Amino acid sequence: MSAWTPEVVEVLEASGWVPGRRVDTDGWRAMFEPHGLAMHDAAAAFLREFGGLTVRVSGPGITCARTPFELDPELARGEEDRFLDWGESIGRRLFPLGELDHGRFFLAIDEAAEIYLVEGWLACFGPAPQALENLVRGVAPRRIEVG
């Protein structure tokens, strides 16, 4: 992706990403659909390219520390209600992407390809692929106030 800085491309390639990468997403789809989390097109497209990557970053970032993340939806298994509830709160369909900071937070994507930090609160890293740039470079997500 030419929109990324060379540093981000280097980090993603070191994590196993290559342009045109294609991962089978059927297992993740089958894992979550019985629990009410349908894999929408944005989730399928993102996971086809980035699913299964473990991104090991650390140190100071631009507006927050660089935090490792793992793009494996299976890490969110058993947390389906959390994604359903937050999605309902913001009027979006969230699908799990994996974990941030060794399980401290979950990552999700909505049908418009916005990537979220999901915990007892919600924050947005922006749209993919820019969200990956923000995650790798340590740009803090924008907290979402839910009324």
Residue 71, domain extent: 6-144
> Residue 106 has what pLDDT?
98
Provide the whole-model pTM: 0.96
What tens digit of pLDDT does each residue of 73-93 get? 999 999 999 999 999 999 999
- Do 136 and 119 meet the contact criterion of CB atoms below 8 Å apart? no
> Residue 1 has what pLDDT?
41
What tens digit of pLDDT does each residue of 94-142 get? 999 999 999 999 999 999 999 999 999 999 999 999 999 999 999 999 9
- Beta-carbon contacts of residue 66 (< 8 Å; ≥ 6 apart): 57, 58, 59, 60, 136, 137, 138
pLDDT band at 52 (very low <50, low <70, confident <90, very high): very high
Please tell me the distance from the alpha carbon of residue 62 to that of residue 67, in angstroms, as a whole number: 12
Task: Mark out the alpha helices in the chain (DSSP H runs).
Answer: 6-14, 26-32, 41-50, 80-90, 130-137
In a domain, 98, yes or no: yes
Give the residue-averaged pLDDT of 27-53.
97
Q: CA nearest 48: which of 32, 26, 15? A: 26
Give the residue-averaged pLDDT of 21-44.
97
In a domain, 30, yes or no: yes
In a domain, 1, yes or no: no
Using CA atoms, how far residue 47 sits from 43, 60, 73, in Å, is 6, 27, 9
In a domain, 89, yes or no: yes
> Residue 4 has what pLDDT?
92
The structural domain count of the chain equals 1
Task: Count CA atoms within 13 Å of residue 84 on its CB side.
Answer: 12
In a domain, 88, yes or no: yes
